[in-house]
Amino acid sequence: MPSVHLVSEVEAPPAEVTSTLPPWKAWSYLVAGAVLLAVIGTWLVWFSASVQRKFQEEDIRAACQRVMPDTAERCFDTVVIQRGGVRR
């Protein structure tokens, strides 16, 4: 007996194409995906800004330590305020 049975078009019943996902559910998946992407994107922007601010503060602190080792904290505060940042 052959392992494959050939079916002609006459023997095969016509298959009805039906949607298995209701339209409201598809839209809810689309909205949920958009919200998830927005949350992840917002977090990535916040995280990159935080890392950049940290590196800038370290650079300013190192420069102040080289130039004015005795008043490095005062120098740091002054530079941060002049650049528009808020200290403590």
Question: Is 29 among the domain residues?
Answer: no
Question: Is 12 among the domain residues?
Answer: no
Cβ atoms of 87 and 78 closer than 8 Å: no
Give the pLDDT score at 39.
Answer: 98
Q: Exposed (0-12), middle (13-18) or buried (19+): which is 64, by Cβ within 10 Å?
A: buried
How do residues 47-69 score in pLDDT, each as one tens digit?
999 999 899 999 999 999 999 88
Q: How far apart are CA 64 and CA 81, in angstroms?
A: 14
Give the pLDDT score at 4.
Answer: 78
Question: Is 54 among the domain residues?
Answer: yes
How do residues 8-41 score in pLDDT, each as one tens digit?
666 666 677 776 778 888 899 999 999 999 999 9
Question: Is 19 among the domain residues?
Answer: no
Give the pLDDT score at 43.
Answer: 98
Question: Is 32 among the domain residues?
Answer: no
Give the pLDDT score at 8.
Answer: 66
Residue 47's contacts (CB-CB under 8 Å, 6 or more residues apart) are none
